[in-house]
Amino acid sequence: MSNPAALLLEVADLHVSVAGKPILKGLNLRLAVGEVAAIMGPNGSGKSTLANVIAGRPDCVVTRGSLRYLGTSLTDLAPELRARLGVFLAFQYPVEIPGVSNMEFLKAALDSQRSARNEAPLSAVEFMKAARAVASALDLNAEFLKRGVNEGFSGGEKKRNEILQLLLLGPKLAILDETDSGLDIDALQTVAAGINRFRGPDNGILLVTHYQRLLDHIKPDSVHVLADGRIVKSGDSGLALWLEENGYGWITNAA
Amino acid sequence: MQSAENFIDAVRARSRTLDPALPAFADERRTSVIELQRIGVPAGKLETWKYTPIRDFYAPPFVASVDAPTIAPRREPERLLTFSGAEPILIRGAQSDYSAISRRHGVDITNLSADAATPRNARLNTGVDLNRYQLAHLNTALLADCLIIRVAAGIDAGALDLRFVSGSNDANISRVRVEIGAGSTLRLVEQHAEDRPTNSVLEIDIAPRATFEHTRVLPPTIPPCWYLVSVNVASEATYSLAGYATGSKVRRTDIHVRLDGHHAKTDINLACVTHGRDRLDHQIVVEHIGVDTVSRQIVHGIAAGDSELTFNGRIHIHPGAQRSDARLTNKNLLLDRKARINTKPELEIYANDVKCSHGATVGQIDPAQMFYLRARGIDEHTARTLLMRAFLSSRLTTWAQEAGVETIYNELFH
């Protein structure tokens, strides 16, 4: 990762506050193009804040440090502009939007991203074809596209809907915020298969997770442990297994 | 400014000029003039008129002289929508044109002026609570004609589309009376596209086991408009209302539903929007009189700009109306700092075995929903529009959606 041209994401000395409370306190992280990194850590360590600040959630305020994506600073960019550059956040808690159909939402999202790349919007037929193909790969019935966005979806359906968007929008950087939480074993495998389908040499993934079990299905290139707003330990996939055995208790001792 | 006495005098004078055209209702007209004189033009603050000045509806434009130069009949405004399958009745001022309606068995449509031979079949105001709605006296006093729609028992009367437009420089004083026979069904669209001051009364009588589906569209306009919908629902009958409304300088709509018979039911869905400096005030009274009566009210409102949106929903459960089941929800979005929303759900219960709930919220567009849409590349303006549309469209029927009812809100969305 010494070649800066191959850097997808570079976070340096990042300080972030939410509602005036400091959450990230000098976080450093680099992700290369083609790399899958797992971000692990105990509850309240700042994992979700990291995921959200990269996507541009307005209440995550950067107070110091930098956030660069393919060499461009993200900190002053609106969330929609980040998305159009290829940043994607799979939400931990996807919100329900009754009255907006999943189809209308997905098409608006795809059209906005295509228009940013000077590509013509897909016709309704082309779009439906693409959406149906992805839905069926995720065991989602086409009826699902007609329902309100996440409206009345089960936990598993909401997470699969996030992966459906990931596959349909085809970003460069995917941040998956606890995508494994609340999934039963079958749904976990479906979701993991979707993520592996996305994985490739031209994109990168930040897998934010509390547990090791998702990593049985998606083998990360690197693992970082986040505690109290900083990366306190980094390693290869072996670190995740070590954490599974030893838990996070050592962090307080180390600090 | 004309004094209150002068206004009532003008009403009396105008009223007399109408007698030759509609002699059968001279008595009703005279009674209403006397009542108006007795009540007078309300001077102080009335609780039910807290946010909308009632005096705006006792103003000179409502008694424009018959000699005033009338302008050429206007073209049907473009903002009238087309509801599939609904046959149009054009109502210009008080004059109704139902010549386009296909004759069908059991559906009798007539003007009161043409019905003078049998006036006793259709006395005005039979179901209207004149103590509560004084402006209905003004309507009666100034009424030049009245459309009557009678549906016989046991038939499906299809769909009618009442299209209210202005026909002259005069105010629009209109009255429609609908009677639905036992076990029958009627779907009625009521679209108001008047551009003159309006005082409009719609009386509806629903016989046992009959169903009345009412769709109401109030696109943006300018002058003061007052509307009353007064409904009596007999046993096992249903009155459903889907209303889509925007504001005017002052626009007030009163809805009075009496669930008279056992198992009578009403279902009210409203989507209301104000923007600019407009006002819109909905006042709904649902009375549970029979046992086992059911009412549902869901009202969604959005206020933008410097506008004021008012909602008052009162549920009144009478003594003996046991096992009444009433629910009312009012949700509002406040878009701008200067916009105002007044909401007051009320419950008045005089029976002991009832289920009632009511609630009102005023909020802003959910930032979590906004972020979710923007994180997918959708710009802020489009995201807001999508969310506002969604908030309103949850109240739209498929029929109304297909008719393009959303376009009446377009000024807000751009």
d(CA A247, CA B46): 68
Q: What is the pLDDT of residue B158?
A: 95
| Any B CB within 8 A of A121 CB | no
Which range of residues forms the domain containing residue A246? Answer: 37-56+77-254
Do the Cβ atoms of B369 and A95 come within 8 Å? yes
| A12 falls within a domain | no
Q: Is B24 on the interface with A (CB under 8 A)?
A: no
pLDDT at A5 over 80: no
For B248, which DSSP code? B
Q: With respect to residue A201, please indicate whether it lies within any of the assigned structural domains.
A: yes
B62: phi then psi, degrees, rounded to nearest 5? -75, -15
pLDDT in tens, B94-125: 788 888 888 888 999 988 877 655 555 557 77
DSSP B284-342: EEEEE-STT-EEEEEEEEEE-TT-EEEEEEEEEE-TT-TT-EEEEEEEEEE-STT-EEE
Under the banding of pLDDT at 50, 70 and 90, the label for residue A254 is low
User: In this structure, how many other beta carbons lie within 10 angstroms of the beta carbon of residue A186?
Assistant: 10
Q: Is B30 on the interface with A (CB under 8 A)?
A: no
Point out which residues pair with B314 in neighbouring strands.
B285, B346
The three state secondary structure string of B384-413 is HHHHHHHHHHCCCCHHHHHHCHHHHHHHHH
Residues 6+ positions from B121 with CB-CB distance below 8 Å: B115
- State the first-to-last Cα distance of chain A, in angstroms, to the nearest integer: 28
Contact (CB<8Å) B389/A100: yes
Q: Is there a contact between B375 and A169 if contact means CB atoms under 8 Å apart? A: no
Residue (of B278, B327, B286) closest to B302 by Cα position: B278
What is the pLDDT, as a whole number, of residue B78?
67
Q: pLDDT tens for residues A155-194? A: 889 999 999 999 999 999 999 999 988 888 888 999 999 9
Model pLDDT, residue A92: 95
Q: How many structural domains is chain A composed of?
A: 1
Q: Which residues of B308-331 are buried (b: 16+ CB within 10 A; e: fewer)?
A: bbbbbbbbbbbeebbbbbbebbbb
Distance from C-alpha of B52 to C-alpha of B45, rounded to nearest angstrom: 10
> Does a structural domain hold residue A23?
no
Q: Phi, psi (5° rounding) for residue B130?
A: -75, -20
Task: For chain B, say whether A91 makes contact (Cβ under 8 Å).
Answer: yes
User: Does the beta-carbon distance from B386 to A108 stay under 8 Å?
Assistant: yes
Q: What is the CATH number of the domain that holds A220?
A: 3.40.50.300
- Interchain proximity B376–A83, CB inside 8 Å: yes
- Inter-chain CB pairs, A–B, below 8 Å: 81
Residues in chain B: 414
A59-91 burial code (b ≥16 CB/10 A, e <16): ebbbeebebbbbeeebeebebbbbbbbbbbbbb
DSSP helix, strand, coil percent of chain A (3-state; round to 5): 40, 30, 30
Tell me whether residue A189 is in a domain: yes
* pLDDT of amino acid B118: 54
Residue whose tokens read 């998702």: A214
- A170 CB neighbours in chain B (<8 A) are none
Give the separation between CA A235 and CA A217, rounded to whole angstroms: 18
- Token pair for residue A4? 């800066």
Kindly state whether B298 is in contact with chain A, defined as any CB-CB distance less than 8 angstroms: no
Structure tokens at B52: 């909308």
In a domain, A103, yes or no: yes
Residue ranges of chain B with per-residue pLDDT less than 70 = 1-2, 65-78, 115-122
| B350 Cβ under 8 Å from any chain A Cβ | no
Calpha distance A104→B378 (Å, rounded)? 12
Beta-carbon contacts of B303 under 8 Å, excluding residues fewer than 6 positions away, are: B273, B274, B275, B309, B332, B333, B334, B335, B336, B339, B340, B341
Q: How far apart, in Å, are the Cα atoms of A126 and each of A145, A166, A198?
A: 14, 18, 20
Dihedral-angle region of residue A26 (phi above 0 means left; psi in -120 to 50 means alpha; beta otherwise): left
Task: Tell me the whole-structure pTM to 2 decimals.
Answer: 0.85
In A102-248, beta strands by DSSP E: 148-149, 173-177, 204-208, 222-227, 230-235
Mean pLDDT of chain A: 92
- Report the pLDDT averaged over residues A84-88: 97
Q: Does B364 touch chain A (CB under 8 A)?
A: no
What residues in B contact A80, CB-CB < 8 Å? 374-380, 383
Does residue A17 form part of some domain?
no
Can you tell me the distance from the alpha carbon of B388 to that of B336, in angstroms, rounded to the nearest whole number?
13
Residue B75: its pLDDT value, please? 52
Q: Which of B121, B133, B127 is nearest to B32 (CA)?
A: B133
Length of chain A counted residue by residue: 255
Q: Is residue A135 part of a domain?
A: yes
Q: When comparing pLDDT for A55 and B115, which is higher?
A: A55
Whether A148 and A98 have beta carbons less than 8 Å apart is answered as yes
Measured between CB atoms, does B375 come within 8 Å of chain A?
yes
* Cβ contact, residue pair B366, A95, below 8 Å: yes
Return the exposure string of B251-260: e unless at least 16 CB atoms fall within 10 Å of the residue's CB, then b. bbbbbbbbbb
Write the residue in A98, A104, A109 that is nearest to B376 by C-beta.
A109
Q: Is residue A64 part of a domain?
A: no
Q: Is the pLDDT of residue A81 over 50?
A: yes
Report how far Cα A230 is from the mean position of its chain's Cα atoms: 19
Cα–Cα dist A36/A198, whole Å: 11
Could you tell me the pLDDT band of residue A2, with boundaries at 50, 70 and 90? very low
A58 to chain B: closest CA residue: B371
Residues B28, B125: contact at Cβ < 8 Å? yes
A102 touches B: beta carbon within 8 Å: no
Q: What ipTM was estimated for this complex? A: 0.95
pLDDT at residue number A1: 44
Query: Tokens for B137?
Result: 């006296």
Average pLDDT estimate for A140-164: 90
